[in-house]
């Protein structure tokens, strides 16, 4: 949801800004812009479209500036166009500001500023903020640093901002609240600012994650100064990044999505590395061990999440209830916030988020905290806002996921939730040691099985060729496979723009069956397990109405093969682990359909990777 970068140092920044914005483009790609101080003048270029359009817009101008800021936008206030693109300026056009977030009280601030003679050209909340800062600086005769701090005491909303002042080419001012911001500290008095570490990693590994309501000054002579919004000086906490450059590059694949799908044998392994004890047949998770009594005595688990992470939460519902016998409720974070949920003192809230920045999930966490709940985070991005806002947690360790459609993050989330369910089952004595050992061993074998599933790629591509021009698709699954049906449908709609619905297979006869005719592809997860026979009956019901069946089956299956139009075989595994294997061919199917339809799989229209607005 908007990516921001800033650089100040001894070298020209133009290439760094462009490269940094390209790395952050997954956060939004409605428009792009930059501002540098070139020959003592504020030079601003911005346009609707992607970073490549911005590059064309800058053309062959050689930019030698050693200070600059850049922005890639996911539109909130105002349509994506050149005027609404960031950076925005103050009245006198000498302060430029980039922003990720939403200023909720922008309308009242704007009205007051208009009364004080300010003029606005865009529809954005960001332009109001830069005018407000300028107004305070000029009327109170304070430094820009102080003006930013003072302005933010009156701002309601979320922000990560970088401010550049033409009259001070030696300084950038940054601040954040509820939107992420990282400062990289280079070896040569160079400073790097970005929404996440990916634009920084090739220059330095030393970073400071700014905390909420902190304002920082990066000055060529004075270095880094941080104050909180109450103007108390803060000591920067410098951390070393573990991220590797290769992890954020395409590595020979045509898209990040395809790379990330193929990374799953490794990402799943990484999400259980160091947690499985194969000899004893148990799972060790420090986030659970450290709060053992609380978990043992939990009366209920409430999962809050959005999108794909919510689907992982649904799988967790089956896992926790099945293995650990704890009742579970799975909530859309956005809905949880806007009712008056009942939370008990022995409830545990699990927040699941790949990015760790999703505003709805964060708001649900804050609400649950107010009600005194214990919050456990399952996040992928290390150091993210949600991972810091929770009381305890477990990282998924899937590595950076850059494709907007979540793939390896989903399977890693399910892997972590599976381990949590086993760890709890052991503590609560709800599974026999034999069953526990077998499940631990089965989890350990999954990376090899995923490698097998990936070999279906060409077959899936052929099936995609047949169905690529359909307008609708239905996904069916039962038990553990129901959330996978939802996830398969989400993948297809978000990257290929084909309307798709996921349903519990048995629910089909209560309505959706009316949609079935010879044009409706029905993708069914029909692996062996508790509900296999029932799903076979559902397939027959579809076939009786001339629907076309693409079935995900267990290897060697004959029954479904005899009735389906296409079958994709996956290795045999425990019912509870099928979601991790069966998600993969569905990811590949969506990928191929989208590519065949000419869609940009990494940056689907209207979407952004981290949704930092509510
Ligand atoms: O970063 P999060 O896991 O919190 O993101 C939640 C959703 O925004 C995300 O899963 C979204 O639905 C993806 N586009 C799914 O592919």
pLDDT tens-digit series, residues 418-458: 999 999 999 999 999 999 999 999 999 999 999 999 999 99
For 224, the token pair is 């880094």
Ligand 1 contact, 334 CB (< 6 A): no
Closest ligand 1 atom to Cα of 361: 4
Residues 69 and 168 occupy one common structural domain: yes
Separation of CA 307 and ligand 1 centre (Å): 5
Could you give the percent of the chain with pLDDT greater than 70?
Answer: 99
Domain boundary among 444, 478, 508: 444
Residues 26 and 51 occupy one common structural domain: yes
Is residue 591 one of the residues assigned to a domain? no
Is residue 157 one of the residues assigned to a domain? yes
Strands 548-554 vs 521-525: parallel, antiparallel or unpaired: parallel
Residues 17 and 149 occupy one common structural domain: yes
Residues 235 and 306 occupy one common structural domain: no
Q: Any catalytic annotation for residue 2?
A: yes
Is residue 599 one of the residues assigned to a domain? no
Residues 198 and 274 occupy one common structural domain: no
Strands 171-177 vs 157-165: parallel, antiparallel or unpaired: antiparallel
Q: Which of 1-5, 321-325, 357-361 has the lowest mean pLDDT?
A: 1-5
Candidate of 304, 354, 497 to mutate for ligand 1, largest count of ligand atoms within 8 Å of Cβ: 354
pLDDT in tens, 249-264: 888 899 999 999 999 9
Residues 318 and 340 occupy one common structural domain: yes
Task: Transcribe 568-607 into DSSP letters.
Answer: EEE----GGGHHHHHHHHHHHHHHHHHHHTT--SSS-TT-
Residues 439 and 381 occupy one common structural domain: yes
Instruction: Return the CATH number at 111.
Output: 3.60.20.10
Is residue 494 one of the residues assigned to a domain? no
What's the domain count of the chain?
2
Closest ligand 1 atom to Cα of 381: 1
Residue 32: in which H helix or E strand, if any?
strand 31-38
Q: pTM of the prediction?
A: 0.83
Residue 52: in which H helix or E strand, if any?
helix 51-58
Ligand 1 contact, 404 CB (< 6 A): yes
Ligand 1 contact, 587 CB (< 6 A): no
Measure CA 536 to chain center. Answer: 36
Separation of CA 603 and ligand 1 centre (Å): 13
Ligand 1 contact, 407 CB (< 6 A): no
Residues 206 and 267 occupy one common structural domain: no
Ligand 1 contact, 165 CB (< 6 A): no
Quick one: angle between helices 433-444 and 408-428, nearest 10? 160
Ligand 1 contact, 361 CB (< 6 A): yes
Closest ligand 1 atom to Cα of 491: 16
Q: Any catalytic annotation for residue 493?
A: no
Is residue 571 one of the residues assigned to a domain? no
Domain boundary among 189, 213, 247: 247
What is the torsion angle, in degrees rounded to the nearest 10, for the CA atoms of residue 350, residue 356, residue 360 and residue 364?
A: 30
Q: What is the pLDDT of residue 62?
A: 64
Candidate of 611, 612, 614 to mutate for ligand 1, largest count of ligand atoms within 8 Å of Cβ: 611
Q: Which domain does 328 fall in, by range?
A: 250-444
Alpha-carbon torsion 573, 577, 583, 584, what sign?
A: negative
Q: Is pLDDT at 76 greater than 80 in this prediction?
A: no
**Burial of 447: CB neighbours in 10 Å, binned 0-12, 13-18, 19+:** middle
Residues 215 and 258 occupy one common structural domain: no
Instruction: Return the CATH number at 359.
Output: 3.40.50.10490
Give the confidence band of 58 by pLDDT, cuts at 50, 70, 90.
Answer: confident
Is residue 283 one of the residues assigned to a domain? yes
Mean pLDDT of 137-145: 97
Q: Is pLDDT at 512 greater than 90 in this prediction?
A: no
Residues 241 and 256 occupy one common structural domain: no
Atom 7 of ligand 1: nearest residue by CA position? 307
Residues 313 and 405 occupy one common structural domain: yes
Residues 242 and 266 occupy one common structural domain: no
Ligand 1 contact, 312 CB (< 6 A): no
pLDDT in tens, 296-337: 999 999 999 999 999 999 999 999 999 999 999 999 999 998
Domain boundary among 221, 247, 273: 247
Measure CA 473 to chain center. Answer: 25
């Amino acid at each position: 949801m908007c990516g921001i970068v800033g650089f100040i140092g001894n070298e020209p920044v133009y290439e760094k800004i462009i490269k940094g914005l390209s790395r952050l483009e997954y956060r939004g790609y409605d428009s792009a812009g930059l501002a540098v101080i070139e020959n003592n003048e504020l030079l601003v270029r911005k346009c609707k479209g992607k970073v490549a359009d911005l590059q064309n817009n800058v053309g062959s101008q050689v930019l030698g500036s050693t200070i600059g800021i850049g922005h890639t936008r996911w539109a909130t206030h105002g349509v994506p166009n050149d005027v609404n693109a960031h950076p925005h300026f103050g009245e006198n056009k000498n302060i430029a500001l980039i922003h990720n977030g939403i200023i909720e009280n922008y309308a009242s601030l704007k009205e007051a500023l208009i009364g004080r003679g300010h003029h606005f050209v865009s529809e954005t909340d960001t332009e109001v903020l830069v005018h407000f800062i300028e107004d305070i600086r000029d009327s109170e005769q304070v430094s820009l640093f102080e003006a930013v701090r003072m302005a933010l005491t009156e701002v309601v909303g979320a922000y990560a901002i970088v401010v550049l002042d033409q009259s001070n080419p030696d300084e950038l001012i940054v601040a954040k609240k509820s939107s992420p911001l990282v400062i990289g500290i280079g070896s040569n008095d160079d400073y790097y600012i970005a929404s996440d570490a990916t634009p920084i990693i090739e220059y330095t590994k030393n970073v400071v994650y700014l905390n909420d309501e902190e304002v920082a000054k990066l000055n060529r002579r004075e270095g880094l100064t941080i104050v909180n919004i109450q103007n108390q000086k803060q000591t920067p906490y410098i951390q070393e990044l573990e991220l590797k450059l290769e992890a954020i590059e395409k590595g020979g694949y045509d898209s990040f999505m395809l790379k990330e799908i193929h990374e799953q044998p490794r990402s799943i392994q990484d999400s259980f590395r160091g947690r499985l004890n194969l000899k004893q047949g148990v799972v060790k998770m420090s986030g659970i061990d450290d709060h053992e009594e609380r978990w043992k005595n939990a009366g209920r688990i409430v999962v809050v999440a959005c999108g794909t992470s919510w689907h992982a939460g649904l799988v967790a519902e089956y896992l926790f209830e099945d293995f650990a016998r704890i009742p579970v409720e799975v909530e859309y974070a956005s809905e949880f916030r806007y009712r008056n949920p009942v939370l008990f003192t022995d409830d545990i809230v699990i927040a699941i988020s790949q990015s760790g920045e999703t505003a709805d999930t964060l708001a649900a966490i804050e609400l649950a905290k107010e009600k005194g709940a214990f919050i456990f985070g399952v996040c992928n991005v290390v150091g993210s806002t949600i991972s810091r806002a929770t009381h305890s947690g477990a990282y998924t360790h899937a590595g950076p996921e850059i494709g907007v459609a979540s793939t390896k993050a989903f399977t890693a989330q399910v892997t972590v939730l599976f381990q949590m369910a086993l760890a709890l089952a052991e503590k609560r004595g709800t599974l026999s040691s034999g069953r526990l050992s077998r499940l631990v061993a089965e989890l350990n074998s999954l990376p090899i099985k995923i490698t097998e599933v990936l070999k279906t790629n060409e077959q899936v591509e052929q099936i995609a060729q047949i169905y690529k021009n359909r307008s609708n698709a239905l996904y069916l699954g039962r038990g553990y496979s129901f959330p996978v049906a939802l996830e398969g449908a989400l993948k297809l709609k978000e990257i290929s723009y084909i309307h798709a619905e996921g349903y519990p297979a048995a629910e089909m006869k209560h309505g959706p069956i009316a949609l079935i005719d010879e044009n409706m592809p029905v993708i069914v997860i029909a692996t062996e397990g508790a509900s296999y026979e029932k799903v076979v009956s559902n397939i027959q019901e579809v076939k009786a109405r001339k629907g076309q069946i693409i079935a995900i089956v267990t290897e060697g299956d004959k029954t479904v093969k005899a009735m389906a139009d296409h079958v994709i075989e996956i290795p045999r595994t425990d019912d509870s682990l099928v979601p991790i294997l069966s998600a993969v061919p569905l990811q590949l199917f969506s990928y191929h359909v989208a590519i065949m339809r000419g869609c940009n799989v990494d940056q689907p229209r209207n979407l952004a990777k981290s949704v930092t607005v509510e």
